[in-house]
Copies of this chain bind each other. A is one copy, B any other.
C-alpha cells in the first residue's frame, strides 16, 4: 500500500496539498471523473488549480484522459506501468447512459482494426454506451 506522496514522487510530481487531495479523490472513485466533478467536490478550491493539477497528472502519466462522447473530458487513473499512449495497450471505455458514469474496461483491449489503403492509424478511441453492471442489476 503506497502512500499518496509516494505515488506522486514516483511520477515526478511534487506533492503539494492540492495534488494530494485530488489524487486521493481520484483513487477513491472507481469511475472516470470530469473537471466539474472535482470542482464541485473541492468547492472552495480554485478552478484553475484543479485544472492544472489534472493536466500535470496527465503529462506525468498518472491519469489518462478519456473522451467518452459526452463532450466533457473525463480522467481516470492509469494502471501501474500503463502505457496509454501505446496502441496495443488501448482499452475500451464504457459510458452508462443511466448513471452517467464512465468506466475503464482495462481488461478489454481494442480489437484489430483494418483500414483502407493509405490510412495510417496513430490512435484509437472506442467507447461503448449502454447500461453498466450496477444499473442493469438494480
Q: Which residues of A contact B (CB under 8 A)?
A: 67, 69, 71, 73, 92, 94, 97, 105, 107-108, 111-134, 136-137
Count the copies.
2
Distance in angstroms between the alpha carbons of A130 and B122 in the assembled complex: 5
Give which listed residue, B73, B117, B122, B130, contacts A119 with CB less than 8 A.
B130
Q: Measured between C-beta atoms, what is the minimum distance from A111 to chain B in Å?
A: 5
Give which listed residue, B92, B124, B136, contacts A128 with CB less than 8 A.
B124
Q: Measured between C-beta atoms, what is the minimum distance from A18 to chain B in Å?
A: 25
Residue pair B130, A113 in contact (C-beta under 8 Å): no
The residues of B that contact A120 with a CB separation of less than 8 Å are: 130-131, 136
Residue pair A133, B108 in contact (C-beta under 8 Å): no
